[in-house]
Every structure is written in structure tokens, then in C-alpha cells.
Amino acid sequence: MMIADTDDDNYRPSKRTRADFRPDDTDGMQSSPGRSQQGHSRDDVPMTDRTDDYPYEDDDDDQAEFEMYRVQGTLREWVTRDEVRRFIFKKFRDFLLTYVNPKNGHGDIEYVRLVNEIVSANKCSLEIDYKQFISVHPNIAIWLADAPQSVLEVMEDVAQRVVFDLHPNYKNIHQKIYVRITNLPIYDQIRDIRQIHLNTMVRIGGVVTRRSGVFPQLQQVKYDCNKCGSILGPFFQNSYSEVKVGSCSECQSKGPFTVNVEQTVYRNYQKLTLQESPGTVPAGRLPRYKEVILLNDLIDCARPGEEIEVTGIYTNNFDMSLNTKNGFPVFATVVEANYVTKKQDLFSAYKLTQEDKEEIEKLAKDTQIGERIIKSIAPSIYGHEDIKTAIALAMFGGQEKNVEGKHRLRGDINVLLLGDPGTAKSQFLKYVEKTGQRAVYTTGKGASAVGLTAAVHKDPVTREWTLEGGALVLADKGICLIDEFDKMNDQDRVSIHEAMEQQSISISKAGIVTSLQARCSVIAAANPIGGRYAN
């Protein structure tokens, strides 16, 4: 089998190693194997007694008898053993009920407090900080990163029992509690995801370009045998495969079978297309994208044009269309999201070191800071002080105002550079593209109204109409650069007026009526009528 992903010529193997995840081993257990290792042994791993009342629960104290054994096989096979699942169950339950964050001086139990908060907010997701968890149980944290599906299943079982034990009536509101993993230490670019990451937990970021509608997906399905009338199931289905019944257990017939609608459980399902951020794409390369699956309470957590970070399980599913096209078995890869967060600010305060803050405060006290910023705009271009001043003001922007919550005034500045050919207008735009934190470059001749605002496509899987954001939507909270502005058609140029003033794009196509955010500055370059001022 091969994965539907091509390697770059200069691609180097992933440096995703065990040491990236874990500090010194303090758990007294042997660490997990590498992903490329097919066979390994497990020695001296303490496990609970097999005679527990609950298969994954250990009610004994720390003096419980442990079992020593040796196992041959892969990590994903090993973590499915009952002994290992009991061990994970006990350690994670102790972590939830006893962990105290050393950064908080109150001495409160961290996750008991978080459980009380999610119950007060009527939520069903418990966020677990990976760095806190790895500091207490480094081995289980490694297993979580390398075999997340099996480990998360046990962790969600633990979280559900802890929440319902602390708040017994909460099970009448939410039947299931989900565990969300935050602060995964390794960040991967979309173009660096390879076969080594399959069935592991990854953290990627990008811009949402497309979002499907919300539709129900089978989670627990039962079938009726049309010949004998017996009920088959329940069958549990994951998000990327289909459950097929081979034969009836009563009459041994091979069908036909119909879905029992009354006893079938559904869950919400949504698909996003995540594209690389414009500033991270290497020069001369096309941006890569990945499909992201959202389930349950993650539905509608992001809109087209927003920049997000996704922590999830990188997995694959069989795609018949790819096999027909290529003539041999090919898998389509997707990321099943576990935790989604929005990048509100790429240069947020928590990412600045103390030296950075001191340097910024030092620059703020400089009386000539304005002149220094203007001179640093495209320093290779001589003169043009007025143009450099306008570009600097557009890049820094102003302060958005909201008058008594009734009237919103934009803080972004739109700039039009008008001049003869050969006056470095395009070079100014290229400089902004390289230095801006989120800049999208396009040309007037190659851009249409749909390409600048938003397009409506029919999803090939669900056959539903979906929105795909254009250049102005992708540049949300950034800068949109348009060269050869005078070469645009009048109809296309009119389409960006709403985005420039109201900073939103209204869509009313194919039954979709919505509004997308386009909070960006527009810097455009154009020639005078006739090509030159002399004409």
C-alpha cells in the first residue's frame, strides 16, 4: 500500500523521537518503542492483579501485587492488553484526583477544579495538559502520542467515571465525557506529515479554506435481518470506515439487512479543509492541505478564513476514487481532530521571551522609532519616503473601535500605490508579502470576484454545497496584496468594496446565506489610465 502523499526531493526524515516527548523517566517503567520497531520485549512492567471486579479498575492501594511478564509485539497491540489498560486506568484516575499544579499557589487539585468548571458551563470535554501529564507519567504520555486510539479510549472511560462520581446527576445531561489533549510539544507542518505519523497524535496548523455542513454519522448501529427478523448488533463504527454485516447469526443468511432506525445511535460529523498558512509556504511551492474531521462538540469550532491549530489522530481510509484513478490501492489520509484552538495572535505575549519584552520596551522609548520603522521598509529601494510611510502604517494598522456596541469602525488601512511602470510598486508588495505575518498576494488579471471573496462548491462525498474562502477571507487579520489593480474587470473590483469597508463578505448562493470575516488591509498597486502619467 502507499499513501496519497508525495515526498519532496529535499525532504529529511522526521525527527519525531521519544526524547521530544518525555523528560527523565520517573515512572519506574520501561519506555515505549520507536514507531519503526516491529518487535520488542517488555520487562518488569508493574500491572494490577487480574482478579479486579472491573476489568480496567484497581481498587487496591499502592501495596497491590504487580504482575511481571514479557510481551512480544508492536506498541499498538500491547496497549490493548487488559493488564496495560488496567494500569493506564489506575494511573490516570490517580492523576485526575491528586494532581496539584505547582504554578498555582492555592494547592487546589487541578482537574477536580476543571471538572467542576465544565459541569458549571454544561460542557462535555475535559482538557488535559500534555506537559503536566508527561511530568507525572512519562511512559503513559508516550503511549498516548504513539497509540492514541487505544489509550484515549481508556482515558475517556476514566474521565467519565470521575465526572459522574463527583456529579452523579450530570449523566442525565451528557452521556459521555471526552478527553481533549492540549499542549502537545511537537508541532508539524502539513507538508512534513508522512507515513511515520500514521495512527499517531499530531499537531498541525493552517487556514480553514472549506467547511462542510453538519450531518449525522452512524456511531452505534443495529441491523434487522429481513428473513428471520432477528436484530444484529450493536456494531460500533469509527469515523472513517463502514460497518458491513457478513451473515445473520440466527438463520445464517447473508442478507438483505436493513438498519434498525429506532436502536441506532448517531453523532454529529463535519469535515474541514485545512491549508498551509500563506506565510509558511516555501517560495515557488503550492500550499498543501489536509482534511480534518470534527466530531461531537467540536462541530462549528472554526469558520473558513480562520487560522487554527488542530491536535488529532493522523489516520487513513480507503478511497475508491483514488484507486480507480491510480490503478493500485491508495489510501486517503485525514486528521481526526481531538482538540482545536484558534490562533488569535501569532505573536502573543506568552511566546515572547523576557529578552524580547525588554527589547520591545527599549524600542518604545526611542524618540526616533517612527523614522527607524519607515527606513526599514524595503531598505533596498531608494527614496519613496511617502510610500514607505503609507505601507508602514498599513502594516501596523490602527485600533478597531466599537461605539457602544452598535457601530463598528475598522482599524485597518487600505493603500493604493499609483505610478508609472518601473517605479518598484510590485517590489513593495513583495516586501510586505515576505514580512507580513499573514499576507496573501494576488494579481488583478489573474483574480476574479469569486477568487477574491468566496466560492461555492459541491462536496464530492456528501453532494452538499460548501463554502471555500477566497484571497480576502484567507487574509483575515492580515494583509491582502493585489498587483495590477487597474487590469481587473469593473465587476470584480466592485466585489471587494464590502470587504474593504465593512470587513465582511456576504454570500447568498446555492441556498447558503452567510457572512465571512475579511478583517484585512488591502494594499493594491496600479498604473494610471493609459499606462503612464504622460499619456
Domain ranges of the chain: 17-182, 198-343, 349-526
> Do 198-343 and 349-526 show the same overall fold?
no
What's the pTM value of the predicted model, to 2 decimals? Answer: 0.66
Angle at 498 between CA 495 and CA 499, to 5 degrees: 90
**What pLDDT does residue 413 have?**
86
Taking the C-alpha atoms of residue 133 and residue 145, their distance in angstroms, rounded to an integer, is: 12
* C-alpha cell of residue 319: 478511497
Q: Looking at domain 198-343, which CATH architecture does it have?
A: Beta Barrel (2.40)
Question: In this predicted structure, what is the pLDDT of residue 64?
Answer: 35
| Mean pLDDT for back-to-back runs of 10 residues, the chain (535 residues) | 42 43 42 38 38 44 39 72 84 87 75 87 88 87 87 89 88 87 87 86 88 79 81 70 72 78 80 83 80 87 84 78 62 86 59 80 85 85 85 84 78 86 84 82 78 76 73 82 83 80 78 79 85 68
Question: What local confidence, expressed as pLDDT, does residue 53 receive?
Answer: 40
Q: Which amino acid is at 441?
A: Y
Residue 242: the pLDDT is 64
- Dihedral of alpha carbons 278, 284, 286, 288, sign: negative
74: nearest Cα among 87, 64, 84: 84
pLDDT of res. 433? 84
- What pLDDT is stored for residue 241 in this prediction? 58
- In angstroms, the CA 16 to CA 32 distance is 14
Strand 289-295 with 330-342, pairing: parallel
CATH architecture of 349-526: 3-Layer(aba) Sandwich (3.40)
Kindly state which CATH superfamily the domain 17-182 is placed in: mini-chromosome maintenance (MCM) complex, chain A, domain 1 (3.30.1640.10)
